């Protein structure tokens, strides 16, 4: 049986998926795998009973399955880089019941940082267009972090107040979702949908209704026949949860989980949502106006590292060396924070001076 990842593989750089499920490995250094396999996007380590440590999960890995790793105690993540966060993120640690508290905290903090990064990317490219953004995290437990999700309910619905916008200028609202549900009987379903229906009410009494879904069908190669047991925590985000604020003052949410026995079948079973939580991101629109009105050094570096032409790079270099006073002014503008409800949630938007997202 495989007890460690072999040091040599053929076609290393072209490997998009690595499946180590069912092996006897005890430790996986994910960062080293990503370095060795440059195109690695998808890592499966399901049912690795001897796995105890999953270390250095890099920010650019988009798909991670670690289901049923009963000895897995510790998970660590590389420090987050705002602009390395993928557009679509799927990470499950289901039925990993040996996690210590630090690992749960690491997973929650990483999930919320990634949501914040996706929110910024979506808003910064609001008018020009942006690829869809989605996130799904799953791990054992029945507690919703009060530090991460300030609005909570002991059932499947929740009402909350939107903080008033005292600033001159518009802003965006974005919502991250957390659910607790017993997944014990989910293994026999062909696929599962998690649904959020929500309504935003403005100061004049008008309201708008929205609906967002997360389905197993949207994640390729997901093994829907995995056997789950017990209660699990789900952290969810989708770019449909980003809305331009229209003087909204209240929001109400209703959550459902539906299990379908076959593709195309309208019949489903309802899986009870036992708890729910919502975190609201408040993002000032003028922060992104400032970014678009003047380039900083970091903007130029990011553009040069992309598929820019040689001529573009020369122009950027010359502007970089042009006016030191203007450079300092730009840096000061970029250092302004975007306000969040919870200060202890990592604030990726405050890190935007590293460069614009692609």
Q: Residues 177, 56: one domain?
A: yes
Cβ contacts of 330-336, under 8 Å, gap ≥ 24: 330/294, 330/295, 330/296, 330/297, 331/296, 331/297, 333/290, 333/294, 333/296, 334/290, 334/291, 334/296, 334/298, 336/287, 336/290
Instruction: Tell me, yes or no, whether 231 and 336 share the same domain.
Output: no
- Domain co-membership, 32 together with 140: yes
Residue-wise pLDDT tens digits, 291-313: 444 443 333 323 333 343 344 43
The answer to whether residue 1 sits within a structural domain is no
Phi, psi of 238 (to 5 degrees): -150, 150
Same-domain check for residues 200 and 342: no
- For residue 50, being part of any structural domain is answered with yes
> What total number of domains does the chain contain?
2
Token pair listed for 346: 């990592």
pLDDT digits (tens, 9 = 90+) for 126-175: 777 777 899 999 999 999 999 999 999 999 999 999 999 988 889 999 99
Residue 133 covered by a domain: yes
What residues make up the domain containing 323? 288-354
Mean pLDDT of the chain: 79
**Co-location of 49 and 122 in the same domain:** yes
pTM for this structure?
0.78
In a domain, 6, yes or no: no
- pLDDT tens for 141-151 read 999 999 999 99
Strands 191-202 vs 273-284: parallel, antiparallel or unpaired? unpaired
Regarding whether 154 and 142 lie in a shared domain, the answer is yes
CA-nearest of 242, 83, 118, 226 to 172 is 242
Residues 313 and 214 in one domain: no
* Cα distance between residue 358 and residue 229, in whole Å: 40
- Verify that 148 and 72 share a domain, yes or no: yes
The domain boundary residue, chosen from 285, 320, 341: 285
């Amino acid at each position: 049986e495989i007890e460690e990842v072999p040091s040599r593989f053929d076609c290393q750089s072209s490997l998009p998926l690595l499946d180590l499920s069912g092996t006897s490995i005890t430790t996986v250094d994910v960062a080293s795998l990503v370095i060795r396999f440059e195109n690695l996007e998808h890592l499966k380590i399901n049912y690795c009973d001897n796995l105890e440590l999953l270390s250095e999960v890099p920010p650019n890995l988009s798909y991670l399955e670690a289901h049923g790793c009963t000895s897995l105690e510790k998970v660590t993540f590389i420090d987050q880089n705002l602009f390395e966060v993928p557009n679509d993120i799927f990470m499950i640690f289901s039925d990993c019941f040996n996690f210590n508290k630090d690992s749960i905290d690491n997973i929650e903090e990483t999930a919320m940082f990634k949501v914040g990064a996706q929110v910024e990317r979506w808003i910064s490219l609001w008018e020009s267009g942006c690829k869809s953004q989605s996130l799904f995290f799953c791990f054992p437990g029945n507690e919703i972090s009060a530090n991460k999700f300030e609005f909570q309910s002991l059932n499947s619905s929740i009402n909350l107040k939107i903080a008033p916008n005292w600033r001159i200028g518009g802003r965006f609202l974005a919502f991250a979702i957390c659910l607790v549900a017993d997944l014990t009987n989910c293994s026999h379903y062909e696929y599962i949908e998690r649904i959020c229906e929500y309504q935003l009410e403005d100061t004049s009494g008008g309201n708008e209704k929205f609906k967002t879904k997360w389905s197993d069908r949207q994640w390729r190669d997901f093994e829907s026949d995995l056997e789950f047991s017990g209660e699990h925590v789900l952290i969810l985000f989708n770019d449909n949860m980003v809305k331009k604020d229209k003087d909204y003052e209240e929001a109400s949410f209703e959550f459902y989980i539906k299990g379908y026995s076959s593709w195309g079948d309208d019949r489903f079973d309802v899986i009870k949502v036992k708890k729910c939580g919502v975190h609201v991101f408040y993002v000032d629109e003028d922060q992104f106006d400032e970014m678009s009105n003047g380039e900083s050094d970091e903007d130029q570096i990011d553009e040069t590292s992309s598929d820019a032409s040689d001529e573009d790079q020369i122009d950027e270099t010359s502007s970089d060396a042009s006016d030191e006073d203007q450079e300092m002014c730009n840096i000061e503008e970029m250092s302004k924070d975007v306000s969040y409800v919870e200060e202890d949630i990592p604030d990726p938007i405050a890190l935007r001076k590293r460069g614009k997202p692609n």
